[in-house]
C-alpha cells in the first residue's frame, strides 16, 4: 500500500500492477485507489474490467494499444481471471507492446511466479502481495476502530480484541460485522461486550465448527442441515466457504505444530486464534489424519479459485463440496 500511495501522490505510475494474495479486501482497496487516481470519476470510456475466465486476447491487445479518449490513461482491470496462467506468451506480448498511456491492473489470489509474464511484471511493473499472515493484530484493531470511529462509535481495546476473536482476520468480515454493530447501536456511541454477543455472528462460527465435525464423521445429513441453517441466516455461500477454509487451515496448523511439541501460545499465534481456543479444536483433530485435513483444505481452496474465475457458481460449488467431503 505504501508504494501504491507513493505512486498516487507523485503521479508516477507503473505500466502494470499485479495485486495478489489472500487478503481480498486490501487487493480491492488498492485496485480502487489506482483506478480513482488514474481516471476521472465516472470515466467508463477509458476503463475496462475483465472478470471471466475466458478472455478474447485479440480484443485485449486492440484495447491495450488504443490511446485514451480525453484522458491521460486507459485502465484495464483483470479481476481474478487467472490471466497470467491462461494468457501465456500472447498476454506477455500485450504487456510488452502496450503504450505508457495504458495501465493494466491484475488481481489474483494466487499466481505462478515461474511464468514469463510474472517475471516481466516483477522487472518492469510492480507486484504487491497482500497476505493475511502479515496482518498484525494491531493493524486489524486499528482497522476496526477506524470503521467505528467514522460513525462516532467507541470500543474498549479488550472488547475490540474479543470482537476479533469471534470474527477472525478477514477484513471484509470485520467490516461487515462492524457495520451490523453500527446499525444496531443507533444513537448509542459505546460498543459493549453485550452488543458484540448479540450482533456478531459467533453463532455462525459455531455452526461452521459443528459442520466440519459432521464432515469428519461422514454425517452428510447433519452437515447439510448446518449449511441450511446458515443459508436461513442469509450468510453468503462465499463467506461460508471462507470460514470452512479458515477452519481447515487452523486444524492443519494445530496438528502440524503439536507434532513438533509447540506450546498453545505458539500454536495460537501461528493459527491466528486466541490461546484459550486451541484446546477446543482437540476433539475435532482426533477425527482427522494429517493427510485428510490437508486434502480437505486443498479441495476447499481449489473451489474458492473456481468460483472466483467463474468456472462454477458459489452455491452449487459449495453444496457439491459438502457432499464430497461427507461421503463415507
The model's pLDDT over 108-159, given as tens digits with 9 standing for 90+, comes to 988 888 899 999 999 999 999 988 776 677 888 888 999 999 999 999 998 9
CA 96 → CA 44, 49, 100, 103, distances in Å? 24, 20, 10, 12
Give the pLDDT of residue 202. 57
Output the CA torsion sign for 57, 58, 61, 62.
Answer: negative
Residues facing 106 on adjacent strands? 18, 78
Residues with Cβ within 8 Å of 323's Cβ and at least 6 positions away in sequence, in order, are 220, 224
Q: How far apart are CA 129 and CA 119, in angstroms?
A: 15
Residue 44 in grid coordinates? 467508463
Give CB contacts under 8 A, 24+ apart, made by 310-316.
310/51, 310/52, 310/53, 311/53, 314/236, 314/237, 314/238, 314/241, 315/237
Give the pLDDT of residue 168. 74
Q: Which CATH superfamily is domain 2-133 in?
A: P-loop containing nucleotide triphosphate hydrolases (3.40.50.300)
Dump the DSSP string for 202-255: HHHHHHHHHHHHHHHTT-HHHHHHHHHHHHHTT--HHHHHHHHHHHHHHHHHHH
Q: What is the 3-state secondary structure (H, E, C) of 261-294?
A: CCCHHHHHHHHCCCHHHHHHHHHHHCCCCHHHHH
Q: Put residue 129 in one of left, alpha, beta given phi > 0 → left and psi -120 to 50 → alpha.
A: beta
Which pTM does this prediction carry?
Answer: 0.57
The secondary structure of residue 76, as a DSSP letter, is E
Choosing among 3.20.20.70, 3.30.160.60, 1.10.8.60, 3.30.1360.200, the CATH entry for 136-199 is: 1.10.8.60
Give the pLDDT of residue 55. 87
Q: How far apart are CA 24 and CA 10, in angstroms?
A: 26
The three-state secondary structure class of 128 is strand
Q: Look up the CATH architecture of domain 202-325.
A: Up-down Bundle (1.20)
Please name which of 242, 230, 232, 214 lies closest in space to residue 322, comparing C-alpha atoms. Answer: 214
Q: How far apart are CA 51 and CA 83, in angstroms?
A: 10
Q: How far is CA 200 from the centre of its chain?
A: 19
Give the pLDDT of residue 62. 95
Give start-end residues of each CATH 3.40.50.300 domain in the chain. 2-133
Please name which of 73, 126, 121 lies closest in space to residue 101, comparing C-alpha atoms. Answer: 73
Q: Which residues of the chain have pLDDT under 50?
A: none
Place of cell 443507533: 186
CB atoms within 10 A of CB 2: 7
Give start-end residues of each CATH 1.20.272.10 domain in the chain. 202-325
Give start-end residues of each CATH 1.10.8.60 domain in the chain. 136-199
Amino acid at each position: 500500500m505504501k508504494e501504491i500511495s507513493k505512486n498516487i501522490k507523485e503521479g508516477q505510475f507503473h505500466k502494470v500492477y499485479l495485486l495478489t494474495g489472500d487478503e481480498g479486501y486490501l487487493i480491492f482497496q488498492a485496485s480502487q485507489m489506482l483506478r480513482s487516481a488514474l481516471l476521472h470519476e465516472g470515466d467508463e470510456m477509458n476503463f475496462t474490467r475483465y472478470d471471466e475466465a475466458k478472455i478474447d486476447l485479440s480484443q485485449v491487445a486492440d484495447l491495450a494499444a488504443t490511446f485514451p479518449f480525453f484522458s491521460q490513461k486507459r485502465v484495464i482491470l483483470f479481476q481474478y481471471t487467472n490471466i497470467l496462467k491462461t494468457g501465456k506468451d500472447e498476454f506477455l506480448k500485450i504487456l510488452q507492446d502496450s503504450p505508457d498511456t495504458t495501465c493494466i491492473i491484475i488481481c489474483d489470489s494466487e499466481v505462478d511466479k515461474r511464468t514469463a509474464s510474472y517475471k516481466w511484471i516483477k522487472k518492469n511493473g510492480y507486484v504487491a502481495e497482500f497476505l493475511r499472515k502479515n496482518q498484525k493484530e494491531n493493524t486489524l484493531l486499528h482497522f476496526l476502530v477506524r470503521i467505528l470511529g467514522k460513525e462516532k462509535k467507541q470500543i474498549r481495546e479488550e472488547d475490540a480484541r474479543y470482537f476479533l476473536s469471534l470474527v477472525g482476520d478477514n477484513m471484509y468480515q470485520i467490516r461487515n460485522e462492524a457495520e451490523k454493530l453500527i446499525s444496531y447501536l443507533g444513537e448509542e456511541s459505546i460498543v459493549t461486550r453485550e452488543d458484540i454477543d448479540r450482533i456478531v455472528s459467533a453463532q455462525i462460527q459455531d455452526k461452521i465448527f459443528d459442520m466440519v465435525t459432521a464432515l469428519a464423521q461422514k454425517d452428510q445429513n447433519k452437515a447439510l442441515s448446518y449449511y441450511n441453517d446458515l443459508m436461513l441466516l442469509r450468510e453468503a455461500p462465499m463467506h461460508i466457504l471462507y470460514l470452512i477454509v479458515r477452519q481447515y487451515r487452523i486444524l492443519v496448523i494445530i496438528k502440524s505444530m503439536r507434532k513438533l511439541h509447540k506450546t498453545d501460545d505458539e500454536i495460537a499465534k501461528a493459527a491466528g486464534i486466541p490461546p484459550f481456543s486451541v484446546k477446543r479444536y482437540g476433539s475435532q483433530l482426533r477425527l482427522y489424519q494429517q493427510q485428510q485435513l490437508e486434502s480437505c483444505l486443498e479441495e476447499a481452496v481449489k473451489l474458492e479459485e473456481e468460483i472466483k474465475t467463474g468456472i462454477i457458481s458459489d452455491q452449487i460449488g459449495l453444496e457439491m463440496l459438502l457432499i464430497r467431503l461427507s461421503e463415507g
